[in-house]
Structure 1
Amino acid sequence: MTDNRVIQWHYADPEMAIQSANVIGRLLQAGYEAYWVGGCVRDEYMRRPVHDMDITTSARPEKTCALFQRVVPTGIKHGTVTVLMNGQAFEVTTYRVESGYEDHRHPTEVAFVSDVNQDLTRRDFTMNAMARGLDGTWVDPFNGRRDIDQSIIRCVGQARVRFREDALRMVRCIRFASVFGFSIAHNTWRGIIAERDTFSWIAMERIRSEFDKIITGPSPLAGFEMFIRSGLYARMKSPFPYTGHDQRIMDAIPCVPDQHVSVRWALVLLACGITAEAANPLLRAWTFSNKQRAAILDLLVFQEKSLTDAPGAEVDNDQLGWIQSVLTYGDEAAERWLIMQRSLMAAGAHTVSKEQLQLMERWLHEMPVRSLKDLSITGSELLHAMSMRGGPWLGTLLNQLLHKVATGKMNNDRESLIEEAKRVLRDYEGT
């Protein structure tokens, strides 16, 4: 259990900190060494939120398993087990060294060691190669705190060796520099340039995950520019077809709230002149989910439509065109497109006027229905009321009803919808 000598964590969930201290305490009582290590130590020192707390120990994985009631052998061959303690989960890893990175990503050989300093030697960057003891003792053999104080990302040991071991570290380096606002040490940057051809070994899913963090971070432009300058963009399994970018559109990205990642991605593609048609296979190759891909593509199509369908002289026609776009692509896509336009406007790269944008926002707010589910009657109810069998015609009819209600040409009540449906069919049969 913990005692008064335990260090106080200020940026971690209190319960998580207590339970992780209990894990370390039990390992210490059994005669082993144990420390908090890596990201949690770094983030606490940087006064950033701590999201998880990893532990490193001299205890072999089977010894760790024997000490705790609930353990999941998540990576026991490589020395990692997950200890479950009072609703909290902690990765506990035996001190180890690694070798034989044949795929430039995963070690083929792992050897357990007894010295925490040896374990820290295998880690990527100095700021992540720090450990902290239960009593507050620091283990910082590569001056990670100094590099944090100087806002520098620096590899542990030789940068080329670190990147050759795990090529994903190159984009992680850029991500850390972008998110933290740090610079990259000269020798570390030279290591990226020297080893960038190994980047093609890395799965697109892992790269996209890192780039999502860059895009949603506080300085996405810095991360994007480093990614381009490094040449990594051309060395992915599915290369980014970069030939240049519109800086004004790129400047709009930080204006987008970071939770709207699809809007930020759409702006990156838009700034690089990548059309919706060209973006579709790229987003598939970059392992975006179908939902994410559709959200980004809808924004690009929306934008392309707004450029080709210039506002007309009559407000009524503009409103009808806008309503049809909302019905075609969905209100969520319309909301995200409006967010994108506000961001472009803030960066001086807008394609619609402020007045037109305000009208579109008002029109969207005033729409009585936005999709078929908002109609006061379903397809099956309509068939029953008309004593008819279904067919392709039903979908067409429902969309006609939706458009009329959305544009205010008829009320959204059951009887009106049935009567209008009967009228449309009579007119159709009479032609």
Structure 2
Amino acid sequence: MNKLFKQAGLILDILEKNDYEGYFVGGAVRDYILNRPINDVDITTNALPEEIERLFERTIDVGKEHGTIVVLIEDTPFEVTTYRTEGTYSNFRRPDKVFFTENLQDDLSRRDFTINAMAMMKNMILFDPYHGQDDLEENVINTVGEADERFGEDALRMLRAVRFMSQLDFKLTENVKAAIHKNKALLAHIASERTFTELKKMYAGLNPSAAQNIIVETGLLEYIPFFKHVHKDTYLSACVSNIEEALVIHVYHDQSLLRFLNELKPSNHLKNQIRDSLSLMDDLSMNVNSKLIAYYYNKEIMDLVLHLNQKNDVLSTDSVDILLNAITLRDKLVINSRSDLYVDGRVLMQVLERQGGPWLKTLLSEIEKQVVLGQLENDQNEIINWVKNHAKYEE
């Protein structure tokens, strides 16, 4: 048995010894049946949050008002949530109020998809009132109850359906597709950060191409931040395996899309990845020397562009050769950064008897270039002599 299930089983034991019910629930059950890796195990119980806190020595309140307490077993966190039903939704994302219940099936009835609405006992016996196992066997994504109602309650579920479709390489039922098409405009109510999280998982799935087709077919594309500005034919033609590649390829084809990037609320790291990838592609198109490519760009960026080109053929043969050579040279460079030079700005200002200014940055960049290309030895005296005899800089 998976180690996480063994640890979570200790929680079920304590609940049962105190006359409460306890079940594994949700994604862990789904992934167990599919024999997929399991990264966390959630538990549902008829014990109230206060009772969960009383029964376990180490707990964290992460949402008691919604019934969820984290229980720590050997420093591993497990979310333990009281059976609950939900009231009305007024913001298309979260229920206005939750109600605790004693009935497991009532709890499962509020969940999004049948494949996520299965519970499992410690002995791995399944409780599956909505036939999630059947849908797993048929490789389909189906909602618990009416799809139209589920998406009207929580609009993010539409994108989650597409995400699971990609992650598991499943298909949507016709009812689910029709309901997404009908309710697609509700996605505009969802925070960009939550949309981004689902897109990131979708693009990293087994079949993002099929998911892209559904997004266009159902009209969801018109309501997804950033991507709604991409022409649907261009969107469909992109062959990518993560969201970074998706954003790079679309901006590469249409630089004007850069102004819409912040709609997704991307991290600074992601913005830098996109900027550096586009810069690398430009440098490759201008046949910049492989050593300089290796020096200017880290391996993560070079690998991203190489992988992107393998599926989308955006680089010339010469550019690919330069990039492949640069990747092999990355660990063989004379210097890896400006700090490796045996001179710095202070030394240059002293030698040239000049105050700092833009000229200094330009000169240091030229020194870096000459050293990386092997045309100048990384030695202080050699560099100073070269500066005095060859360097050009503006007064």
Alpha-carbon separation, structure 1, partners of 2:160 and 2:16: 33
Aligned residues: 392
2:157 and 2:347 map into 1 onto residues whose CA distance is 58
Which secondary structure does the structure 1 equivalent of 2:61 belong to?
strand
Q: Which residue of 2 aligns with 1:312?
A: none
Note the C-alpha offset of 1:221.
1.2
Shift of 1:118: 0.2
2:301 to 336, 349, 362: 336
Cα offset, 1:388, TM superposition: 5.2
- TM-score normalized by the length of structure 1: 0.83
Any residues of structure 2 matched to 1:137-286 within 5 Å, and which?
137-236=125-224, 240-246=228-234, 250-251=238-239, 253-254=240-241, 262-270=244-252, 273-275=253-255, 278-286=256-264
Greater CA deviation, 115-124 or 395-404? 395-404
- Which amino acid in 2 is paired with 1:362? N
1:323 positional shift: 5.5
1:17-416 residue pairs with structure 2 within 5 A? 17-236=5-224, 240-246=228-234, 250-251=238-239, 253-254=240-241, 262-270=244-252, 273-275=253-255, 278-304=256-282, 306-307=284-285, 309=286, 318-320=287-289, 330-332=296-298, 336-337=301-302, 339-341=304-306, 343-344=308-309, 346-347=310-311, 349-353=313-317, 356-363=319-326, 365=329, 367-369=333-335, 371-383=337-349, 389-416=355-382
Alpha-carbon distance between aligned partners in 2 of 1:302 and 1:359, rounded to the nearest angstrom: 11
Q: CA RMSD in A?
A: 2.6
Contact 2:184 2:219 in 1 (8 A): yes
| In 2, Cα distance between equivalents of 1:248 and 1:168 | 22
Cα 1:291–1:81 shift into 2, 3 Å: same
Higher alpha-carbon deviation: 373-382 or 84-93: 373-382
Unaligned runs of at least 5 residues, structure 1: 1-8, 310-317
Counterpart of 1:73 in 2: which secondary structure? strand
SS at match of 2:92: coil
Contact 2:32 2:38 in 1 (8 A): yes
CA distance in 2, matches of 1:185, 1:66: 44
Q: Deviations over 1:125-162 (max 9, x none)?
A: 00000001123332100000010001010000010111
Instruction: Assess, with a 3 A threshold, how the Cα gap between structure 1 residues 350 and 393 changes in structure 2: closer, same or farther.
Output: closer
Q: Is the 8 A contact 2:277 2:304 kept in 1?
A: no
| CA–CA separation in structure 2 for the residues paired with 1:124 and 1:370 | 50
CA distance in 2, matches of 1:76, 1:144: 28
Offset, 1:207: 0.9
CA–CA distance in structure 2, aligned partners of residues 150 and 136 of structure 1: 21
TM-score norm. by structure 2 comes to 0.90
Deviation of 1:222 after TM superposition, in Å, equals 1.4
SS in 1 for 2:161: helix
User: C-alpha offsets along residues 340-378 of structure 1, whole Å, 9 cap, x if unaligned?
Assistant: 34553x44724311x552244325616534542332333
Cα offsets for 1:186-211 (capped at 9, x unmatched): 11111111111110010111111111
Unaligned runs of 5+ in 2: none
Residue 340 of structure 1 aligns to a residue whose secondary structure is helix
Distance across 2 between alignment mates of 1:401 and 1:138: 68
- Rounded Cα–Cα distance in structure 1 between residues aligned with 2:156 and 2:45: 26
SS at 2:60 equivalent: strand
Whole-angstrom CA distance in 1 between matches of 2:90 and 2:193: 19
Conserved 8 A contact 2:114-2:144: yes
Distance of 1:224 and 1:246 partners within structure 2 = 11
Q: In structure 1, what residue type is equivalent to 2:305?
A: M
Residue identity matched to 1:281? R
- 1:162 is paired with a residue whose SS is helix
